[in-house]
């Protein structure tokens, strides 16, 4: 009888230990006590959860559901197949081939920037050539340009495999050029340039007035793709597209520490921008941003599957009746009660802006964020502002987890 009782006691003890172990294991799952009512703590918890999900998702697999990255990132021999990247674009800029059909040009000299007579081996020498070129970098470098980098058509600047910064001087201008790809570059602390001669082709240099000081200025250009760049803290905009520019995709970028982030459309009076089409996809709008993500005029804008984790004033704004199609984004509003609205209309009465076609479809709104729609509700009205199928906002964390410059090493996937 004693043996039977001992066995029963041992079983009971093991059962209690198992229950205790389960309690200990499950306890960390709820990191935010149910009784906490302080809204600041709630917001902090949301921020922590988003940051942790972004961090974890970025390392799980080379395939994340991001159609651009899934097209090329799993190729361990990406360095031998660099130009295949040009076949992976999506959105309105999907036909931008850059220097896909040209030779590889290697930047070896980061110091000797001559804006009129650039030396072979410098970045400026490569971007002004008439022939298609796929431009890469021999090693890590920081390039401080003396004047704007005036890009010629059919060029790719590909920073993969090196830590490349264009910083602390005038930065990139794509003016009246076509088929340009900029990938994998850190662009920050850009300054105004100008009142100087600058070469834009082997056969031409001309006087440039003062530049705006954008990170990337797109002026009268078409078929432009900006992908996996990290941009911050420039004099004017991080990326501005004006004066009839169109067929543009801005994807997988990480933007931080800036006021007026992105201007699409020069002015309310410049109707040349009415045909502008821009896709803004899979970007992370991060810490220290204030407004214009983007600020649109006249044209057609597809804002799809981006992660908005910070803004101070508003996220998406516009004037002059732009069509804005917001789909599958994640908007985390700031704590300020006066800045919860995602949208902002400028220079128009309510009777006027109510006719503008702005819609939110499948967007995830957090911490009180809200989007004010207007205009038509039918899909037909957004046909010219639709450029790809939106993914669910529930997976925005995974498809934007690697936004910005990637760390790419030879022989392994990026």
Per-residue pLDDT of the chain (414 residues), as tens digits, is 434 343 444 444 444 444 444 333 333 333 333 333 444 444 444 444 454 444 444 444 578 899 999 999 999 999 999 999 999 999 999 999 999 999 999 999 999 999 999 999 999 999 999 999 999 999 999 999 999 999 999 999 999 999 999 999 999 999 999 999 999 999 999 999 999 999 999 999 999 999 999 999 999 999 999 999 999 999 999 999 999 999 999 999 999 999 999 999 999 999 999 999 999 999 999 999 999 999 999 999 999 999 999 999 999 999 999 999 999 999 999 999 999 999 999 999 999 999 999 999 999 999 999 999 999 888 889 999 999 999 999 999 999 999 999 999 989 989
Asked if residue 205 lies in contact with residue 148, where contact means CB atoms within 8 angstroms, the answer is: no
With CA atoms as reference, report the closest residue to 260 among 234, 283, 278, 242: 234
Active site residues: 292
Structure confidence at residue 87 (pLDDT): 98
Of the CA atoms within 13 Å of residue 155, those in its CB half-sphere come to: 29
**Residue 350, class by beta-carbon neighbours within 10 Å (0-12 exposed, 13-18 middle, 19+ buried)?**
exposed
With CA atoms as reference, report the closest residue to 188 among 230, 232, 219, 226: 232
| Distance from C-alpha of 399 to C-alpha of 76, rounded to nearest angstrom | 20
DSSP-derived pairing of the beta strands 307-308 and 330-332 = parallel
Q: Which residues contact 11 (CB under 8 A, 6 or more apart)?
A: none
Structure confidence at residue 2 (pLDDT): 39
With CA atoms as reference, report the closest residue to 72 among 181, 222, 221: 181
Q: How far, in whole angstroms, is CA 404 from its chain's centroid?
A: 7
Tell me which residue has tokens 């069509």. 323
If residue 123 lies in a helix (H) or strand (E), which one and from where to where? helix 123-127
Q: Which residues contact 310 (CB under 8 A, 6 or more apart)?
A: 285, 286, 287, 288, 289, 332, 334
Token representation of residue 165: 């910064």
Structure confidence at residue 383 (pLDDT): 96
Count CB neighbours of 243 within 10 A: 17
Structure confidence at residue 152 (pLDDT): 98
| Distance from C-alpha of 414 to C-alpha of 252, rounded to nearest angstrom | 14
Q: What pTM was estimated for this model as a whole?
A: 0.86
- Homologous superfamily in CATH for domain 39-399: Single-stranded right-handed beta-helix, Pectin lyase-like (2.160.20.10)
């Amino acid at each position: 009888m004693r043996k039977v009782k001992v066995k029963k006691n041992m079983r009971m003890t093991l059962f209690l230990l198992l229950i205790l172990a389960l309690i200990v294991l499950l306890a960390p799952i709820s990191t935010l006590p149910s009784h906490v009512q302080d809204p600041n703590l709630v917001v902090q918890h949301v921020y922590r959860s988003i940051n942790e999900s972004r961090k974890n998702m970025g390392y799980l697999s080379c395939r994340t559901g991001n159609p651009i990255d899934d097209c090329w990132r799993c190729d361990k021999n990406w360095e031998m197949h660099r130009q295949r990247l040009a076949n992976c674009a999506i959105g309105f800029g999907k036909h931008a081939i850059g220097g896909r059909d040209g030779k590889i040009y290697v930047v070896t000299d980061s110091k000797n920037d001559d804006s009129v007579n650039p030396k072979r081996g410098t970045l400026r020498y490569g971007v002004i050539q008439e022939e298609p070129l796929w431009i890469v970098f021999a090693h890590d470098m920081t390039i401080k340009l003396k004047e704007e980098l005036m890009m010629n058509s059919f060029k790719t600047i590909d920073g993969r495999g090196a830590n490349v910064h264009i910083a602390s001087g005038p930065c990139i201008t794509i003016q009246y050029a076509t088929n340009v790809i900029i990938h994998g570059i850190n662009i920050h602390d850009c300054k105004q340039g100008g009142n100087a001669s600058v070469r834009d082709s082997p056969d031409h240099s001309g006087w440039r007035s003062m530049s705006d000081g954008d990170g990337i200025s797109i002026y009268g250009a078409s078929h432009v793709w900006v992908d996996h760049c990290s941009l911050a803290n420039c004099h004017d905009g991080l990326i501005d597209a004006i004066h009839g520019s169109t067929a543009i995709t801005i994807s997988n970028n990480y933007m931080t520490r800036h006021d007026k982030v992105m201007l699409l459309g020069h002015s309310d009076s410049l109707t040349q921008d009415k045909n502008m089409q821009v896709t803004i996809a899979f970007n992370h709008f991060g810490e220290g941003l204030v407004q214009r993500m983007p600020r649109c005029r006249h044209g057609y804008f597809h804002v799809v599957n981006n992660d908005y984790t910070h803004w101070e004033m508003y996220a998406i704004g516009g004037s002059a009746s732009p069509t804005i199609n917001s789909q599958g984004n994640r908007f985390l509003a700031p704590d300020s009660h006066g800045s919860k609205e995602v949208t902002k209309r400028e220079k128009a009465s309510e009777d006027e802006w109510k006719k503008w076609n702005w819609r939110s479809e499948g967007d995830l709104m957090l911490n009180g964020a809200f989007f004010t729609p207007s205009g038509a509700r039918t899909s037909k009205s957004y046909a010219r502002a639709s450029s790809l199928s939106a993914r669910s906002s529930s997976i925005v964390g995974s498809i934007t987890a690697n936004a910005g410059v990637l760390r790419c090493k030879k022989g392994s996937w990026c």
